[in-house]
Amino acid sequence: MSALDFRPIYREDGSLDPQCLEDAGRHWIRGWLERRFSGSDPYFPIDRRGDEDPEALVVHILQQAGSSHPLTISVSEVLLALLDEARKAAPDVPVSFSPVLNVCQLVRLPATSSWFTEELAALARSPESAESRWGQFEVTKEIVYAAAVQCPGLPRAASYPSWLSLLYVPRYATLALLGLGQTFEQTLPFLETWWRTCVPEERQRELDHLFFMALKDRGEPTVHSLLAATSAGWPHVLEDAVNSALLRSGGSKAFLESSPLGIAGFGTEKTRIYPKVRITLRSRNRYALVSAIRQALRRSGMAPLEIETFSREALTTRDPQRFEELWRRAVENAPPDLGEKTAKGN
């Protein structure tokens, strides 16, 4: 189909029918995308007064079409070809490269995963070499941001080792956390490593965003429960930062400070909400209590399955007497030294 033959087709609701673009053919789609990404579109004029991004319409069309629509497949293969051309031309990338990356940052595309997996691997092997090849850190940062969408770091994914490596590179640590953690639960196991590695000025801002979204999506009880299950060994400074993020997001603290006079010989140092059973049993926070007992049971050598059974039952019961019965039974099944520590704190 020639450029003069193309006519957009609109649905009754006024939205563009993506099939008309697919029917125009792969060659036409590529030409259209290259022109639009370069700032000129004779079919769908770019709104300069509204400062419209050239890729915005493409993202909208792909989101409306869905991942299984033939147009999405065609566009993804065209974008893969443009990515390959940019790689060959680097560091002198074409003007269309930035809009292509922007699309990849917003829409999952069927054909581009391998390209971003390859770039991640090269970056993980030598960040300096990859940045030199692309010309600057800002370009590789945008590539990594898009990779979080196109090849997320699931445990069995080919990209997983690369994401883990980048988690230890300060300037990429936050993006690596995004790539490894597609959900709040997936993020938590990597949070301490990220905190130790991340550029300091990014830490609190990213934590605030993470916990704001977690509280909004999962609710405070679930967030506290997940923290109790995964935060063993976190440094006090990270706990403080998490508390701060929770408070700023409208939640409550997940970690407590010891009394200024000291508790059970711990002096005035900052303590976790559950470092010892004898401290935490004074708390009214169910999740703090369960996590305290979990940690003590783990130190005592109790089987992980038994610990998980206790946790599940204790967190689901709403009967205070049943809760007390569960934790007392768990302590009684542990070695004697745990029982002695519990008795001291109660």
Contact of 273 with 255, CB cutoff 8 Å: yes
Confidence at residue 4, expressed as pLDDT on a 0 to 100 scale: 54
Those residues of the chain that have pLDDT short of 70 are 1-4, 50, 257-289, 291-292, 295, 299-301, 303, 318, 320-321, 327, 331-346
What 3-state class would DSSP assign to 311?
Answer: helix
Q: Which of 138, 149, 48 has the alpha carbon at shortest distance from 93?
A: 138
**Non-local CB neighbours of 140 within 8 Å, separated by 6+ positions:** 123, 127, 130, 131, 134
pLDDT tens digits, 189-202: 999 999 999 999 99
**Tokens in use for 259?**
């009394």
Confidence at residue 266, expressed as pLDDT on a 0 to 100 scale: 31
Confidence at residue 178, expressed as pLDDT on a 0 to 100 scale: 95
Confidence at residue 277, expressed as pLDDT on a 0 to 100 scale: 39
Confidence at residue 294, expressed as pLDDT on a 0 to 100 scale: 72
156-181 as b/e: b if 16+ CB within 10 A: eeebbebbbbbbeeebbbbbbbbbbb
Confidence at residue 320, expressed as pLDDT on a 0 to 100 scale: 67
- Which amino acid makes up residue 100? V
For residue 222, how many other CB atoms are within 10 A of its CB? 15
What 3-state class would DSSP assign to 326?
Answer: helix
Question: Between 200-218 and 173-180, two packed helices, what is the crossing angle to 10 degrees?
Answer: 20
